[in-house]
């Protein structure tokens, strides 16, 4: 099969991905093989390619926003049938036995494997995943539309869950990229008021168009105290800024996988039981619930589709913020 291979990490502008022919993977016991129809490109793919995250295997096939159809079933698989539409997220597998797995926090499993990092991902014509970790997808939706559901959509849903907010609460979003776009739509579907802070005039306009209750820059302050917030850019000095806008008992969720140093030099920012937590990966529950919500409420994200042959160039554009929404590779025709 054709696949984009990462053998050595380097700045993405140096084009470290190489198109090659590799044997088609086969589904082992408990696994499903997926014919990949489309795969989104995530900033994490860039982090891995460039060495911000260590290389766990070489060669590696990146990509964890995978959607496709089941085309081979391993021994013992009854969860899916051939031809079923499924997605694959960042969480490729977890042990199912440790304290975190038993508590429903498989995202923290110390034996977890991650798609496009520990296991080959979706920048390829086929991929294999434990059947229990594949996510059922609805009929009637384009595969390209659903690819970002597997990462920014699911991660956004988990970030919103981590705030602990109830329907009707006041939520602050700091930065407004693909993940925040999904969060705003989920929050509005739940009757929340959403206050968006971003530098980009383009993103300000997008937030307003999606129904944000207030939109401003970092030199402005929302008109009300907020019950919770989510920081999306990997900028540590935003933490104190966002904490200062929370009401008592507010929780701030830090969404990035890396972040510049965080300095909190005023105890009053966390006084009155304000708290901070980080987002670490996702669970199957997050993905399955988000797919249901997105399908029910027609939650969408702008996408820019690239042919499979242009994956390398599309990844460069992702790094430089030159994508309108989320980059998606079309690998096969539906």
Task: Quick: pLDDT tens for 222-276.
Answer: 999 999 999 999 999 999 999 999 999 999 999 998 889 999 989 999 999 999 9
Looking at the chain, the whole-number percentage of residues with pLDDT higher than 90 is: 95
The answer to whether 66 and 122 are in contact (CB under 8 A) is: yes
Q: Summarize pLDDT for 2-61 with one digit per residue, the tens.
A: 999 999 999 999 999 999 999 999 999 999 999 999 999 999 999 999 999 999 999 999
Q: Summarize pLDDT for 77-103 with one digit per residue, the tens.
A: 999 999 999 999 999 999 999 999 999
Structure tokens at 114: 């991650």
User: What is the radius of gyration, based on Cα positions, of the chain?
Assistant: 20
**Confidence check: pLDDT of 333 > 90:** no
| Distance in angstroms (rounded) separating the CA atoms of residues 290 and 185 | 11
Question: In the chain, where are the structural domains located?
Answer: 2-150+302-330, 154-278
Q: Summarize pLDDT for 62-74 with one digit per residue, the tens.
A: 999 999 999 999 9
Q: Which CATH number fits domain 2-150+302-330: 3.90.180.10, 1.10.10.10, 1.10.3720.10, 2.40.30.10?
A: 3.90.180.10
**What's the fold here for domain 154-278?**
Rossmann fold (3.40.50)
Cis link prior to 59 (omega < 30° from 0)? yes
Using CA atoms, how far residue 251 sits from 128, 164, 229, 246, 331, in Å, is 38, 8, 7, 8, 40
Q: Tell me the pairing of strands 246-254 and 275-278.
A: parallel
The predicted pLDDT at position 124 comes to 98
pTM of the model: 0.94
Structure tokens at 185: 């739509």
């Amino acid at each position: 099969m054709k696949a984009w291979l990462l053998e050595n990490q380097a700045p993405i502008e140096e084009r470290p991905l190489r198109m090659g022919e590799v044997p088609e993977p086969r589904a082992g016991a408990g696994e499903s093989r997926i014919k990949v129809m489309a795969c989104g490109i995530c900033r994490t793919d860039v982090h891995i390619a460039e060495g911000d995250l260590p290389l766990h295997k070489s060669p590696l096939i990146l990509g964890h926003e995978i959607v496709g159809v089941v085309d081979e079933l391993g021994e013992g698989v009854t969860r899916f049938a051939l031809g079923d539409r499924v997605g694959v997220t960042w969480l490729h597998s977890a042990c199912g036995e440790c304290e975190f797995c038993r508590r429903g926090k498989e995202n923290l499993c110390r034996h977890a494997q991650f798609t496009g990092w520990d296991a080959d991902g979706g920048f390829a014509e086929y991929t294999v995943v434990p059947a229990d970790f594949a996510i059922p997808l609805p009929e009637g939706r384009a595969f390209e539309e659903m690819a970002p559901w597997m990462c920014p959509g699911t991660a956004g849903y988990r970030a919103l869950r981590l705030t602990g907010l109830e329907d009707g609460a006041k939520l602050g979003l700091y930065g407004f990229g693909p993940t925040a776009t999904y969060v705003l739509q989920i929050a509005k579907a739940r009757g929340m008021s959403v206050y968006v802070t971003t530098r980009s005039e383009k993103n300000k306009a997008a937030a307003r168009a999606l129904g944000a209750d207030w939109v401003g820059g970092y030199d402005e302050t929302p008109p009300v105290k907020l019950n919770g917030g989510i920081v999306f850019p990997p900028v540590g000095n935003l933490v104190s800024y966002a904490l200062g806008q929370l009401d008592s008992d507010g929780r701030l969720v830090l969404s990035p996988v890396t972040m510049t140093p965080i300095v909190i030099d005023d105890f009053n920012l966390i006084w009155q039981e304000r708290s901070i937590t980080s987002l670490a990966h996702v669970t199957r529950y997050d993905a399955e619930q988000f797919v249901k919500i997105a399908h029910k409420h027609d939650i969408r994200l702008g996408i820019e589709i690239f042919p499979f042959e242009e994956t390398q160039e599309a990844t460069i554009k992702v790094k430089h913020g030159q994508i309108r929404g989320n980059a998606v590779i079309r690998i096969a025709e539906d």
